[in-house]
Amino acid sequence: MKRTRLVFSGSGGQGVITAAIILAEAAVIYENMNAVQSQSYGAAARGGSTRSDIILSDSNIYFPEVTSPNILVCLTQEAYAKFSPIIRPGGLLITDSKFVQTFKKIDAKQIELPMYETVMGKIGKPIVFNICMLGALIGITDLLQFDSIMQVLKTKIPSYFIKMNEKALKTGIDLGSQQRQSL
């Protein structure tokens, strides 16, 4: 039984929950997997730390939350400090090198990627930072196909933003796949 538990974390407005929904929806609708996505949030509309849990599996998923993730993505220092201790031993930790300074060794593969700076350099819009992160994730792990993510994006965003998102996704995949070779 194959089961992947992911936690995306960052701050409100970075799009971590949106990225989690896109990933899980792509898995269910285009790759015939089961997925559950959940999030915890407070009463604030933006800011504060955000977290979204995703479980991907080929069998039924009952308990929907992730207690120790195989894959943890942290897009802020606060999220890194809060969640890095819960990663599953031997798991994968992805951080953004602009926002997160890793300060300790953990029993996981640690990958620091300049996702934000690459997005700003190549596209210039922070709004697709989260899509670049999704690209990096599938570039490193082969979790899902590029096409599946694109299909979901096409149903979720206005057509004139598709090109920009596609570019961000590809940029992320490039960043991620370079890392895969070094693993």
Partner 1 sequence: MNKNIKFVQGNEACVEGAIYAGIDFFAGYPITPSTEIAELLSRRLPQKGGKFVQMEDEIASVCAILGASLTGHKVMTATSGPGFSLKQEAIGYACMAEIPCVIVNVQRGGPSTGNPTHVGQGDINQARWGTHGDHSIIALTASNHQDVFEMTIEAFNLAETYRTPVILLFDEAVGHMREKLVIPEKNEIPIVNRLRTALKKGVDYHPYLPREDGRLPMSDFGGDHRYNVTGLLHDMWGFPSNDPKVVKGLLHHLNDKISNNIHRITRYKEHYLEDAEYILISYGSSARTAIHIAKNRRARNEKLGVLELQSLWPFPKEMVREKCRNAKAVLVVEMNMGQVLAQVKACIDRPETVFLANRIDGELITPSDVKSILRVIQGRGV
User: Is 64 near partner 1 (CB under 8 A)?
Assistant: yes
Piece of the chain touching partner 1 by CB under 8 A; list 61-69, 80-88, 131-139, 172-180: 61-69
User: Is 23 near partner 1 (CB under 8 A)?
Assistant: no
Q: What is the helix (H) or strand (E) element at residue 54, kind and residue range?
A: strand 49-57
Among 11, 18, 34, 97, binds partner 1 (CB under 8 A): 34
- Cα torsion at 9, 13, 18, 19 (round to 10°)? -50
User: Is 42 near partner 1 (CB under 8 A)?
Assistant: yes
Maximum alpha-carbon separation in the chain? 43
User: Is 29 near partner 1 (CB under 8 A)?
Assistant: yes
List Cα–Cα distances, 153 to 10, 102, 160, 165, in angstroms. 21, 31, 12, 8
Smaller CB separation from partner 1, 85 or 124: 85
- Give the end-to-end CA distance of the chain in Å, rounded to a whole number: 24
Contact residues for partner 1, defined by CB under 8 A = 21, 24-25, 28-30, 34-39, 41-43, 61-65, 67
